[in-house]
Amino acid sequence: MSVLTEAPAAASAAATPLPPALSPGRLAWRRFRRHRLGFYSLILFGLLFVLSLGAELIANDRPLLARYGGQLHAPLLHNPPETAFGGDFETPTDFHDPFIQRQFEQPGNWALFPPIRFHHSSINYFAPEPHPSGPSASNWLGTDDRGRDVAARLLYGFRLSVLFALALTAVGVLLGVLAGAIQGYYGGRVDLVGQRFIEVWGSMPELYLLIIFSALFEPGLLLLLVLLSLFGWMGLSDYVRAEFLRNRQLDYVRAARAMGLSNWQIMRRHILPNSLTPVVTFLPFRMSAAILALTALDFLGLGVPPGTPSLGELLAQGKNNLDAWWISLGTFAVLVLTLLLLTFMGDGLRDALDPRKVQR
């Protein structure tokens, strides 16, 4: 009987050049790249985020570089007093002052300004109309009711929203994965207690707690982050718990236990990497939820302290100044774009990680 063994087949396969090995993660990344909308959304979102990280270089009332009387200044980093530019006072220079601007028009002096000549907190005292003033050559998207440039505030507000969402998502994922992993891996009584705790915790009136706490404490981003994190981990932990419950009884986990690996090693090396699909899929959606939460709280005046550039605060201004359409329109556009990009990324990720998709 000539039974062909598999070994020669394997041997010949090993002898011919192999294509590079593809990990499941890399395969998913390939599928994600093939998802045009999601992939380009990621690129665009990344670009916007990187740009907003350098917001000081784009929107600032101080020049990036300035040359005055043969001396080079970098007012962006260190703002010299007005006296350095021929002024009379020892106060920090206001580059919108017509006197200072005239000084820089003299031969040999120049200043390199960022594209938007306003910081999020700087007030345009030299606007031609009363505030809020409409779009003009100096304020591209107009000013808000305190005379601050809307474009600058949107840029800084976007940065703040995204950073806040990233932090909130990171903390939520960390807590959620930890709680879900422990419940799912140990099961039994641990799981029972954990689930009951989550039910009790989840039925706390989150919004009222926020209102109460914002009255008790100094409102601030950190307080918001802590409060929202306290409640933001539960949805995710349920998914992770279910994945752990499913994976812990698979044969490869049993084999690892028979091998003598510790519980911690099994969770980290074996179960966690196989349980991350829901976590990764939900990341963009959680980010957009976090952005929305921050915006909503700011809109209600429960969020960031006054003066902080925030999309919600701008929306509230838009509501209070309905005739100043540029405030609401600009904020609305930024919010919609951000949330849409995140949703498209989420769709792409979901498709890329869908186990039912044909492996190609």
Partner 1 sequence: MSAPLLQVRALSVAFAGLEVVHGIDFELAAGERLALVGESGSGKTVSALSLLRLLPEAEVGGSALLQGRDLLRLSERELRGVRGDEVACIFQEPMTALNPLYTVGNQIGEILTLKKGLSARQAEARIVELLAATGMPEPERRARAYPHQLSGGQRQRAMIAMALASEPRLLIADEPTTALDASLRTQMLELLGTLQQRLGMALLLITHDLHLVRQFADRVLVLERGHLVEQGPVAQVFEQAQHPYTRKLLGSRPKRDFGPPPPLPEAPPVLRARQLAVAYEVPRPGLAGWFRRGRFEAVRGVEFELPPGRTLGVVGESGSGKSTLALAALGLLRHQGELQIMGEAWGEPGMGPARANTPRLRRLRRQVQVVFQDPFSSLSPRLNIEQIVGEGLLVHEPHLSVPQRRERVLQALREVGLLPESGPQAELLRWLQRYPHEFSGGQRQRIAIARALIVQPRLLVLDEPTSALDVTVQQQVLELLLRLQREHHLSYLLITHDLDVIWALAHQVLVLQSGAVVEQGSAEQVLQLPQHPYTQSLVQACAPLCPRTGP
Q: Based on the shown chain and the rule CB under 8 A, indicate whether residue 356 belongs to the binding site for partner 1.
A: no
Q: Which of 175, 226, 261, 292 binds partner 1 (CB under 8 A)?
A: 261
Q: Based on the shown chain and the rule CB under 8 A, indicate whether residue 360 belongs to the binding site for partner 1.
A: yes
Determine the interface stretch with partner 1 among 6-14, 98-106, 219-227, 300-308 (rule: CB under 8 A).
6-14
Number of chain positions touching partner 1 (CB under 8 A): 40
The type of residue at 61 is D
Query: 261: phi > 0 → left, psi -120 to 50 → alpha, else beta; which?
Result: beta
- Which residues, numbered 265-284, are part of the site for partner 1 (CB under 8 A)? 265, 269-270, 273-274
Torsion, Cα of 44, 49, 51, 55 (10° steps): 150
Cβ 26 vs Cβ 353: under 8 Å: no
Q: Which of 72, 137, 216, 259 binds partner 1 (CB under 8 A)?
A: 259
Q: Which residues contact 76 (CB under 8 A, 6 or more apart)?
A: 56, 57, 60, 62, 63, 64, 65
7 vs 50 by CB, closer to partner 1: 7
Q: Which residue, among 118, 135, 147, 150, has the nearest Cα to 311 in the 3D structure?
A: 150
Q: Cβ 18 to partner 1, closest distance in Å? A: 5
20 vs 205 by CB, closer to partner 1: 20
Query: Two tokens at 350?
Result: 């979901």
- Euclidean distance between the first and the last CA atom of the chain, given in angstroms as a whole number: 37
Q: How far apart are CA 288 and CA 335, in angstroms?
A: 10
DSSP 8-state symbol, 65: E
Q: Cβ 183 to partner 1, closest distance in Å? A: 17
Q: Cβ 282 to partner 1, closest distance in Å? A: 19
Exposed, middle or buried, 337 (CB in 10 Å: 0-12/13-18/19+)?
middle
Q: Cβ 22 to partner 1, closest distance in Å? A: 7
Q: How far apart are CA 78 and CA 84, in angstroms?
A: 12
30 vs 254 by CB, closer to partner 1: 254
Helices 311-320 & 325-353 angle (0-180, nearest 10): 140
1 vs 322 by CB, closer to partner 1: 1
Q: Cβ 235 to partner 1, closest distance in Å? A: 24
Contact letters for partner 1, residues 237-256 (x by CB under 8 A): -------------xxx-xxx
Phi and psi dihedrals of 107, rounded to 5?
-60, 140
Q: Based on the shown chain and the rule CB under 8 A, indicate whether residue 189 belongs to the binding site for partner 1.
A: no
Q: Based on the shown chain and the rule CB under 8 A, indicate whether residue 257 belongs to the binding site for partner 1.
A: yes
Q: Based on the shown chain and the rule CB under 8 A, indicate whether residue 96 belongs to the binding site for partner 1.
A: no
Q: Cβ 288 to partner 1, closest distance in Å? A: 27
Paired with 111 in beta bridges are 66
Cβ 325 vs Cβ 144: under 8 Å: no
Residue with tokens 């186990």: 355
Question: How many secondary structure helices (H) and strands (E) does the chain include?
Answer: 16, 3
Q: Which of 72, 137, 258, 322 binds partner 1 (CB under 8 A)?
A: 258
Q: Based on the shown chain and the rule CB under 8 A, indicate whether residue 50 belongs to the binding site for partner 1.
A: no
15 vs 215 by CB, closer to partner 1: 15
Contact letters for partner 1, residues 198-237 (x by CB under 8 A): ----------------------------------------
Q: Cα Rg for the chain, rounded, in angstroms?
A: 28
Q: Which of 6, 88, 90, 323 binds partner 1 (CB under 8 A)?
A: 6
How many C-beta atoms surround the C-beta of residue 109 within 10 A? 16
6 vs 88 by CB, closer to partner 1: 6
In the complex, the residues that contact partner 1 under the rule CB under 8 A are 1-7, 10-11, 14-15, 17-18, 20-25, 250-252, 254-263, 265, 269-270, 273-274, 358-360
